[in-house]
Structure formats: C-alpha cells, structure tokens
Amino acid sequence: MRLWICFMTVSSIIAVAKAQGRVVCYFASWSLTRTGDDQYRIEDIDPSLCTHVIYAFADLASDGTIRVRRSFNGLFLRIRY
C-alpha cells in the first residue's frame, strides 16, 4: 500500500510538472542505504522523465565549495544524461 501511495504521489507531481514544462526529481542520499524494496539507486532515475534532479543532502565547506555529504562509490559518475 505504501508503494502504491508513493507511486500515485510521484505520478501526480510529474503530471502537474509536465504541464508546466518542468519535472524535478528528488534523490536523497539515504535512499542508497535502505535495503530491499525501499532501496533507490541513482540508476533507477529515468532521465527522460526529469528536467532537473535535486540531490539531498550536500554540505557547504568553509571555503564555499559544495561537498557530497556521503561518499557512495562514484555516485555522480553513474548518472545517466
């Protein structure tokens, strides 16, 4: 049931966003540490559905650079364009 609610929520967001010409996909860092059906990997994002991808969470270093909060074995190298 929880998966169905999640699917319907995402589908509704995509439908509204497509009407506006923008589809923002959200990818949280902790989704990689989940197990079983709850795990979601960067490869699971279909790039043909998203105009923007938001990655949560990152840290802002004292020198102003943005750093990934966790290191996940080349996470950003696996993103499909």
Q: Distance of alpha carbon 45 from its chain centroid, rounded?
A: 7
Q: What is the DSSP string of 2-63?
A: HHHHHHHHHHHHHHHHHHHT--EEEEEGGGGT--GGG---GGGS-TTT-SEEEEE-EEE-TT
Give yes or no for a contact between 33 and 40, defined as CB atoms under 8 angstroms apart: no
- Output 24 or 78, whichever has higher pLDDT: 24
Question: pLDDT tens across 25-71, in order?
Answer: 888 877 777 888 888 877 888 878 888 888 777 778 889 887 766 65
Give yes or no for a contact between 7 and 40, defined as CB atoms under 8 angstroms apart: no
pLDDT on residue 41 = 78
Query: What is this structure's pTM?
Result: 0.48
